[in-house]
Amino acid sequence: MKKILHNNNFILFVFLFFCTLWSGVFYVFPDFADNPITNCSTAFSVFVYWCCICIGIFLLLYLIVLNKYVFAGLFPVFCVLGTIVGYYRYAYKASLTPMLVDAVFHNDFQTSAELITLTLVLLVILNIGVAAIVVYFRFKYIYVNHVCLQLFIAFTGLFVLLNSNDRLHNGIMQRYPFNVYYNIKLYKGMQHEIKSERYCPDTLSYSLPNDSLVVVFVLGESLRADHLSINGYYRETTPYLQNEEQMYSIANIYSEYTHTNRSLPHILTRADSVHEERAFDETSFITLFKNSGFKTSWISNQDPAYTYIYFLNECDTIIHAHPERTVYVYSEWLDEDMLPALDSLLSNISQPNLIILHTIGSHWFYNNHVSDELRKFSPVAENRVITKNTSEEIINAYDNTVVYTDFFLKQVINRLRDRNAIMIYLSDHGEALGENGNWLHANDSYSIKNPACMVWYSDKYSVGNMSKIEALEANKNKFYRTDFLYHSILSAAGIPSSVIVPELDIFTASGND
């Protein structure tokens, strides 16, 4: 047998093929198992995608198999990690994210231990066994010639695959084993962001007369103003909000930026069209709230990006409702999952509170962000490839997310109704729904630049803030850029900072025309 295999590269490639197939089925396929497949063509595109990841694995294993000691050291680790990643993706629909890396490094032992099941232990043992047999086979039967040449071929192949196309690169980097490297790198990047120094435009501390005030800022996702019936949309998408007293829709907001990562730093800081750099070198309004005695909390239902992770870290408390989700997970992912965290913060109010809720809102894939009973419009887009759905299906699915947001905000308001509270909702940007052939966001149609915005306040809040409410009434139809938020939220909280620009404050009567 030894003789037959000697000098035979063919057997090396057959060996690699079976190693890749094993990895592709057990470590990568769970990532594709919940992709909605509606017909042969989507099944084919998912298969092609899976094959691309497998080619990446083949080339990676090709790199390490060339030296038997390197292979013996790395392949068992590759199998064990792959088993764990594949198992959690399949059983818990959990993808590796930087927050999950953080949780792995910082979780207490008990929480981690609860996630280890007998099935997982058996799968790990099985995969260690398989890895041991494979390593034995490598030592006994595989002979490699021209190591440098083969190393060069493997490395070049991998380099070309990862750099040929941005979309393919991103897709591969979110799948095993590349996602391990990618998410650890992102996690390290976040650590860097946390440490970076920023300028605080107002370091004074102000003491507030009222220690029970709750300011809630709901950061929306992809909600365009013109699809809300409260703003005159022909479908009833906001049945609750439009009947809520003390609810103001601020319909004429302009967002310069059309994707979350760029828009959020702009909204949260003093950045404006003249001083865009403030989004990256100044602290947000959160620090000013903190300096004025507010307890500050961020409840996140999104996978935070490096451009705004800094602001989460300005808060006293950060709660991730779904640390295991990325946009590559095609399963239910609802904003109401943030409510238990909100309840727990509200159950313990001993000082003024600022609570930021970062929603998943109307993010594509729309159906995942709507509970079954709120799917008011049908038929809906079922295909994850947006162009394979009709416009009607996409708009129906999108409008269902608006109905869901109406429901979600009602849940938030109900929790604030009997308190001294104000809620401001602002979406990070809008969404294109077929205008000029554009879909989703991060392009330039007007619908993307007109995010939904609303303000609601409780009876108790109105008692000491009549002048603010009169100003809001007078300003609600005026045109503002998203720059208004920073100034207005400080004003809503009664923080008398000198950095507030009255023209950008919707709670000041001299508001901008």
Q: How far is it, in rounded angstroms, from Cα 297 to Cα 117?
A: 33
Closest to 381 (Cα-Cα) out of 397, 369, 402, 360: 397
The answer to whether 336 and 405 have CB atoms below 8 angstroms apart is: no
Residue 398 Cα to chain centre, angstroms:
18
Contact predicate 423/216, CB 8 Å? yes
* Residues 130-189, interacting with Zn ion (CB under 5 A): none
- The dihedral of CA 31, 34, 35, 37: what is its sign? positive
Nearer to Zn ion, 305 or 492 (CB): 305
Q: CA-CA distances (angstroms) from residue 290 to 77, 262, 352? A: 45, 24, 10
Residue (319 or 426) nearer to Zn ion, CB: 426
349-357, 412-420, 427-435, 460-468 -> range binding Zn ion (CB under 5 A): 427-435
Q: Which is nearer to Zn ion, 247 or 334 (CB)?
A: 334
Q: How far apart are CA 65 and CA 69, in angstroms?
A: 9
Q: How far is the CB of 484 from Zn ion (least distance, A)?
A: 18
Residue 481 — left, alpha, or beta (φ > 0 → left; ψ -120 to 50 → alpha)? beta
Closest CB 88 distance from Zn ion, rounded Å: 26
Residue found by looking up tokens 């509200």 in the block: 346
**Vertex 167, ends 84 and 305: CA angle to 5°?**
65
**Residue 304 beta carbon to Zn ion: minimum distance, rounded to whole angstroms:** 12
428 binds Zn ion (CB under 5 A): yes
- Structure token pair of residue 185: 């790198």
- Shortest gap between Cβ of 220 and Zn ion (angstroms)? 8
- Residue (260 or 465) nearer to Zn ion, CB: 260
Q: How far is the CB of 302 from Zn ion (least distance, A)?
A: 8
Of 121-129, 255-263, 322-330, 430-438, the window that binds Zn ion (rule: CB under 5 A) is 255-263
Q: Maximum Cα–Cα distance for the chain, whole Å?
A: 92
Which of 303, 393 has the CB closer to Zn ion? 303
- Cβ-closest position to Zn ion: 260
- CA–CA separation, 301 vs 337, rounded Å? 8
Which x/- pattern, by CB under 5 A, does the window 204-243 give for Zn ion? -----------------x----------------------
Strands 214-220 and 421-427, sheet pairing: parallel
CB of residue 345 to Zn ion, shortest distance in Å? 24
Residue 431 is a binding residue for Zn ion (CB under 5 A):
no
CA distance 260 to 302: 10
- Give the binding-site size for Zn ion (rule: CB under 5 A): 3
Q: Interface with Zn ion by CB under 5 A: which range of 163-171, 269-277, 368-376, 423-431?
A: 423-431
Q: Near Zn ion by CB under 5 A, which window of 173-181, 233-241, 260-268, 346-354?
A: 260-268
User: In the bound complex, what is the minimum distance in angstroms from residue 101's beta carbon to Zn ion?
Assistant: 23
- Record the tokens describing residue 261, joined without a space: 């990562």
Least distance between Zn ion and beta carbon 259 (Å): 6
For residues 366 and 370, give the distance between their C-alpha atoms in angstroms, rounded to a whole number: 7
Looking at beta carbons only, is 260 or 508 nearer to Zn ion?
A: 260
Please say which residue, 168 or 327, places its beta carbon nearer to Zn ion: 327
Q: How far is the CB of 483 from Zn ion (least distance, A)?
A: 17
Q: Which stretch binds Zn ion (CB under 5 A): 193-201, 238-246, 323-331, 424-432?
A: 424-432
To Zn ion, the closest distance from the beta carbon of 222 in angstroms equals 5
Instruction: From 45-53, 254-262, 348-356, 463-471, give the range in contact with Zn ion by CB under 5 A.
Output: 254-262
The CA-CA-CA angle for residues 469, 470, 473, to 5°, reads: 85
- Report the residue number, 307 or 420, with the smaller CB distance to Zn ion: 307
Kindly tell me which of 408 and 507 has the beta carbon lying closer to Zn ion.
Answer: 408
Scan for tokens 């990618």, then name that residue: 182
Within 8 A by CB and 6+ apart from 38, the residues are 382, 383, 388
Helix (H) or strand (E) holding 112: helix 109-114
Select the span of 55-63, 111-119, 256-264, 478-486 touching Zn ion (CB under 5 A): 256-264
Find the shortest distance in angstroms from Cβ 289 to Zn ion: 23
Q: Please, which residue, 15 or 311, has the CB nearer to Zn ion?
A: 311
Nearest distance from residue 363's CB to Zn ion, in Å? 7
**Which residue's CB is nearer to Zn ion, number 27 or number 365?**
365
Q: Which residue from 443, 453, 430, 446 is spatially nearest to 223, judged by alpha carbons? A: 430
The residues near 344 (Cβ < 8 Å, ≥ 6 apart) are none
Minimum distance of Zn ion from residue 431's CB (angstroms): 9
Give the Cα separation of 69 and 76 in Å (integer).
12
Give 28's contacts (C-beta < 8 A, 6+ positions apart): 50, 53, 54, 57, 86, 175, 176
Q: Distance (Å, rounded) from C-alpha 175 to C-alpha 304? A: 18
Q: Can residue 405 be called a binding residue for Zn ion (CB under 5 A)? A: no
Give the nearer residue to Zn ion in terms of CB position, either 183 or 260.
260
**For Zn ion, which residue of 229, 260, 359, 405 counts as binding (CB under 5 A)?**
260
DSSP code string of 65-101? HTSHHHHHHHHHHHHHHHHHHHHHHHHH-----HHHH
Interacting residues toward Zn ion by CB under 5 A: 221, 260, 428
